[in-house]
Amino acid sequence: MNKTILCFFCFLFLLPSCRKNQPEKPASIQLTIRHSVEGNLLVVDTMRYVNAAGNPFLITEIQWFLSHLALQKSDGSLEPLADDEGIYYLDTDLSDTWTIHSSRPINPGVYTGLKFVFGLNQTDNTSGRFVNPPESFMFWPEQLGGGYHYMKLNGKWRRPDGLIAPFNFHLGIGQVYDSITDAVRFVQNYFEVELPCNLQLKPEKQTSVELEMKVEQWFSARHPYDFDFWGGHIMQNQAAMQQACENGKYAFAIHILNASE
């Protein structure tokens, strides 16, 4: 018994000595995703929202990918939250997807921004990459460019004639069609988001940050997005997807919940 304790102490001694050339212990970060409409937590399934174009609408669910999540230093250098592509699937129906933890040691220090890719970039967005649900259910048809939906935002809106129409606000690789029906070219619609912030990460401390998706911005930030004009489906409508993505760049905000004490 005594010997065990002794060994244990020896071991403890050895541990820090291995880290000679890494003076500071790493920090960690936890990101919570919050979907909001006009500042309030998203409430699904009730026709309580009106967009910039004046369409009353409701949302049933939002399923989306973000990737290459990283903290940014003032010199522009990046500290990724994961060692791989850092692809995260988020789903308003699955609460366990709402929290992201850094999966690699994060260098303590001062960071001036959070950066990520909305959706999947061209290199990452390859068909067959995800075989398991729920990610696999996001697949984007091969004929439309393949890979995965960046986002499925589903809901319904009330048309001027009073009828309720469903919409699938689905974003992914876009297509340019010839005069007939064949796609002649594909368009990468993913985009990068940079959110300035002032974050000081301390060694051995976890910092909590909230990433907010301001859902109404998808329909308003740059172009008032009119469901009566664009209709219920846009996977084969690059003009609509382009406007949507231009709006989407402004749909995110970051809030520091607890700076590490």
For residues 59 and 42, the answer to whether their CB atoms sit within 8 Å is yes
Radius of gyration of the chain (CA): 22
HSE-up (13 A, CA, CB side) for residue 255: 10
For 192, the token pair is 């990068």
Whichever of 94 and 256 has its CB closer to other proteins, that residue is 94
Whichever of 88 and 252 has its CB closer to other proteins, that residue is 88
By the rule CB under 8 A, 127 interacts with other proteins = yes
Residue with tokens 């004929």, as numbered in its chain: 143
Q: What are the φ and ψ backbone dihedral angles of 4, each rounded to 5 degrees?
A: -60, -45
List 52, 53, 78, 144, residue binding other proteins (CB under 8 A): 144
List 170, 193, 209, 216, residue binding Cu ion (CB under 5 A): 170
In this chain, which stretch among 13-21, 75-83, 110-118, 167-175 interacts with other proteins, using CB under 8 A? 167-175
Residue type, 176: V
Hey, which residues does 63 pair with through a beta bridge? 91, 152
By the rule CB under 8 A, 148 interacts with other proteins = yes
Judged by beta carbon distances under 5 to 8 A according to partner kind, the member of other proteins, Cu ion, none in contact with residue 15 is none
- Here's the x/- map for other proteins, 77-116, by CB under 8 A: it reads as ----------------------------------------
In this chain, which stretch among 1-9, 131-139, 194-202, 243-251 interacts with other proteins, using CB under 8 A? 131-139
From CA 4, how far away is CA 107, in angstroms rounded? 34
Residue 55: how many CB atoms within 10 A of its CB? 21
Residue type, 113: G
Whichever of 173 and 235 has its CB closer to Cu ion, that residue is 235
**Shortest distance, position 205 Cβ to other proteins, whole Å:** 34
Choose among 129, 187, 121, 214: nearest CA to 138.
Answer: 129
Largest Cα separation within the chain, whole Å, is 84
In this chain, which stretch among 22-30, 38-46, 168-176, 241-249 interacts with Cu ion, using CB under 5 A? 168-176
For 15, the token pair is 């541990």
Per CB under 8 A, residues contacting other proteins are 45, 60, 127-128, 131-133, 136-137, 139-144, 148, 154-156, 159, 163-168, 170, 232-233, 235-236
Which residues contribute to the site for Cu ion (CB under 5 A)? Answer: 170, 235
